[in-house]
Amino acid sequence: MLIAICDDDKRERDRIEQYITDFRSNVPSFSFDIATFCSGEELICAYNEGACFDFLFLDIQMKDIDGIQAAQEIRKVNKYAIIFFISGFTQYVSAAFALNAFQFLIKPVKKEAFDREFRRALKKHLLTHKKYIIDLNQRAIVLEIKDILYIESTDHSVIVHSERGQYTKHGKLSDEEKKLVSFGFVRTHQSFLVNMAYIAEITQTDVILSNGIKVMVSRRKRAEVMGCYNRYMTGFSIWTD
């Protein structure tokens, strides 16, 4: 697992790094590599050179490129990075919501709050990378759940639309919903189950995904879909201790 700490305050960088190191000593089954950056420019440069971090701890107030701007660039190439924003000011919370941040930590970050939220983030990371197996009789296709865009039902089969392509298997959409609802999927229509990580817009008749694909949302389910999506997007809180 790759972790980035980006803060122009060395004391805060060292604090977070020490918390992670302490956490690792108590949970030996997890392995971490930590990279530290003192500016948003350095972090973006690392991404441009091929780095891809699973967890990011971003200070919001930095010179030139701040944490919000850095996160906006990172989200273009990595929608599943777990982002912790760190700040002494809560007025940036709404901007953090817009970037689907996992958590907003108030400086100075207290160890108890860090350990609690970092453990919760690890659970989310492990769930996100769970495998989804498609049995095609002669062979089995193994996908990561995070790579599934949406699932469509047709006759007595379901079509799994993913980043890698689409696959048809026998089954019921209701069974797939039971498997995937805890991973951020929502039923938009009797025939469609959508991964909320890919939703870019919800109209009166469709859910529009980040790649431009439109998936039907029924009038009966629209309010429920909106509620689920709002909870999904605002699923973090502010911790000070």
Residue 172 lies in a domain: yes
- SS3 category, 23: helix
Residue 23 lies in a domain: yes
Same domain for 85 and 10? yes
Same domain for 67 and 51? yes
Same domain for 22 and 123? yes
Render pLDDT for 36-47 as a digit per residue (tens, 0 to 9).
Answer: 999 999 999 999
Same domain for 156 and 220? yes
Which pLDDT does position 235 carry in this prediction? 60
pLDDT tops 70 at residue 23: yes
Residue 144 lies in a domain: yes
Same domain for 76 and 154? no
- What percentage of the chain has pLDDT greater than the value 70? 95
Residue 155 lies in a domain: yes
Q: Report yes or no: 230 and 223 within 8 Å, Cβ to Cβ.
A: no
How far apart are the C-alpha atoms of 222 and 225, rounded to whole Å?
5
Which residues, in sequence order, are bridge partners of residue 189? 192
How far apart are the C-alpha atoms of 191 and 141, rounded to whole Å?
22
How far apart are the C-alpha atoms of 11 and 7, rounded to whole Å?
9
Residue 112 lies in a domain: yes
Task: Report residue 236's pLDDT band, with 50, 70 and 90 as the boundaries.
Answer: low
- SS3 category, 139: coil
Residue ending a domain, among 98, 128, 158, is 128
Q: Report yes or no: 53 and 125 within 8 Å, Cβ to Cβ.
A: no
Same domain for 142 and 118? no
Same domain for 44 and 96? yes
Same domain for 86 and 101? yes
CATH number of the domain enclosing 24: 3.40.50.2300
Give the residue numbers spanning the domain of 32.
2-128
Task: Report residue 125's pLDDT band, with 50, 70 and 90 as the boundaries.
Answer: confident
Which pLDDT does position 239 carry in this prediction? 53
Which residue in this structure is represented by tokens 């009797």?
190
Same domain for 124 and 7? yes
CATH number of the domain enclosing 202: 2.40.50.1020
Residue ending a domain, among 104, 128, 152, is 128
Same domain for 226 and 145? yes
Number of folded domains that form the chain: 2
- SS3 category, 86: strand
Which of 199, 194, 200 minimizes the C-alpha distance to 181? 194
Task: Report residue 50's pLDDT band, with 50, 70 and 90 as the boundaries.
Answer: very high
Task: Look up residue 95 and give its amino acid.
Answer: A
Same domain for 36 and 61? yes
Residue 240 lies in a domain: no
Render pLDDT for 149-177 as a digit per residue (tens, 0 to 9).
Answer: 999 999 889 999 998 899 999 999 999 99
Render pLDDT for 10-22 as a digit per residue (tens, 0 to 9).
Answer: 999 999 999 999 9
Token pair of 186, please? 């929502």
Same domain for 24 and 106? yes
Which pLDDT does position 101 carry in this prediction? 85
Q: Is the dihedral of CA 67, 61, 9, 125 positive or negative?
A: negative
Q: Report yes or no: 20 and 12 within 8 Å, Cβ to Cβ.
A: no
Residue 239 lies in a domain: no
